[in-house]
Chain A
Amino acid sequence: AQSVTQLDSHVSVSEGTPVLLRCNYSSSYSPSLFWYVQHPNKGLQLLLKYTSAATLVKGINGFEAEFKKSETSFHLTKPSAHMSDAAEYFCVVSAPGRLVFGQGTRLTINP
Chain B
Amino acid sequence: GAVVSQHPSWVICKSGTSVKIECRSLDFQATTMFWYRQFPKQSLMLMATSNEGSKATYEQGVEKDKFLINHASLTLSTLTVTSAHPEDSSFYICSATPPGQGIGYNSPLHFGNGTRLTVT
Interface string of B20-47 (1 = CB under 8 A from A): 0000000000000010000001111010
Total interface residues on B, using CB and 8 Å? Answer: 26
Q: In the complex, A94→B41 CA distance in Å?
A: 22
Q: Are A43 and B34 in contact (CB under 8 A)?
A: no
Q: A41-B91, A44-B93 are in contact. Are A98 and B34 (CB under 8 A)?
A: yes
Instruction: Using CB atoms and an 8 Å cutoff, list the residues of chain B in contact with chain A.
Output: 4, 6, 9-10, 34, 41-44, 46, 49, 91, 93, 95, 103-106, 108-114, 116
Q: Are B105 and A90 in contact (CB under 8 A)?
A: no
Instruction: Using CB atoms and an 8 Å cutoff, list the residues of chain A in contact with chain B.
Output: 32, 34, 36, 41-46, 49, 51-52, 90, 94-99, 101-104, 106
Chain A residues, Cβ within 8 Å of B116:
41
Q: Are B104 and A44 in contact (CB under 8 A)?
A: no
Of chain B, the residue at the smallest CB distance from A96 is: B104
Q: In the complex, A97→B9 CA distance in Å?
A: 27
Q: Are A43 and B112 in contact (CB under 8 A)?
A: yes
Chain A residues, Cβ within 8 Å of B10:
41
Q: Are B43 and A101 in contact (CB under 8 A)?
A: yes
